[in-house]
């Protein structure tokens, strides 16, 4: 099904996760440190990376940041840290999802499958969706701001396309969770943090956005 890199320093948890994910048909590589994980992803890229935050040496947060440099691999944080600050910080570092230990393996496997199903939007679609100087090509998987091609993750791209397909229409956080993350129930902070990251990339001034707007109490919309 997928090649999964598990970065977890607890031998028992790493082994149990590996066995469970292999039972689901995946190939699993387990490592104990961020340094090993970064080297493994560089040498033989996995389809999905699962990372703990409390690691020896390089922290999980820094591991995510380093993975994100030039790599849009889906990243799931699997951590015992349930504090809102840690969750938001991990998402802002570049993680696509965050689950709190202990998590049932079936739930984790479902999250993994949802990440892998997030393919580029299918045709037929316009070759380019234009919002002023912001151009989105669903078929090519590209986002341009003026003459500059932007580096976005798979999840950011999927979120942007979902909003772009409904120009001027407000989509609630729950609608976006369902359509982008494929979660019937989920943490709406996933949406908020990814919107914030997108604004940093697609807006000339993220503090005064022109395209990706918040409609207080309702959700978000993308304006031309």
Please, what are the domains in the chain? Answer: 3-117 (3.40.50.2300), 129-222 (1.10.10.10)
Mean pLDDT of the chain, nearest integer: 91
**pTM attached to this predicted model:** 0.78
- How far from the centroid of its chain's Cα atoms is residue 99's Cα? 13
- pLDDT by residue (tens digit) across 84-139? 899 999 999 999 999 999 888 888 888 888 888 764 444 445 678 999 999 999 88
Share of the chain above pLDDT 90, in %: 75
Q: Given this model, what pLDDT does residue 102 score?
A: 87
- pLDDT by residue (tens digit) across 5-50? 999 999 999 999 999 999 988 999 999 999 999 999 999 999 999 9
- pLDDT by residue (tens digit) across 54-75? 999 999 999 999 999 878 899 9
- pLDDT by residue (tens digit) across 128-155? 899 999 999 988 889 999 999 999 988 9
């Amino acid at each position: 099904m997928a090649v999964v890199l598990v970065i977890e320093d607890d031998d028992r948890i790493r082994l149990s996760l590996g066995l469970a994910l292999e039972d689901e048909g995946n190939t699993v590589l387990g490592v104990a440190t961020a340094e090993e994980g970064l080297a493994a992803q560089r040498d033989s890229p996995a389809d999905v990376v699962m990372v703990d935050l409390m690691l020896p040496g390089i922290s999980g947060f820094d591991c995510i940041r380093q993975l994100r440099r030039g790599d849009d691999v889906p990243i799931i944080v699997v951590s015992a840290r349930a504090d809102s600050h840690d969750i938001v910080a991990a998402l802002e570092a570049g993680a696509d999802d965050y689950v709190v230990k202990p998590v049932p393996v079936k739930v984790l496997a479902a999250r993994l499958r949802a990440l892998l199903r997030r393919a580029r939007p299918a045709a037929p679609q316009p070759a380019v969706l234009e919002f002023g100087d912001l151009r989105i090509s669903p078929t090519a998987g590209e986002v341009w701001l003026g003459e500059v091609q932007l580096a976005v993750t798979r999840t950011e791209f999927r979120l942007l396309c979902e909003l772009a397909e409904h120009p001027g229409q407000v989509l609630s956080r729950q609608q976006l969770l369902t359509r982008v993350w494929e979660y019937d129930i989920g943490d709406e902070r996933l949406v908020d943090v990814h919107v914030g990251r997108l604004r940093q990339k697609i807006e000339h001034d993220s503090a005064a956005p022109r395209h990706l707007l918040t409609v207080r109490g309702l959700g978000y919309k993308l304006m031309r």
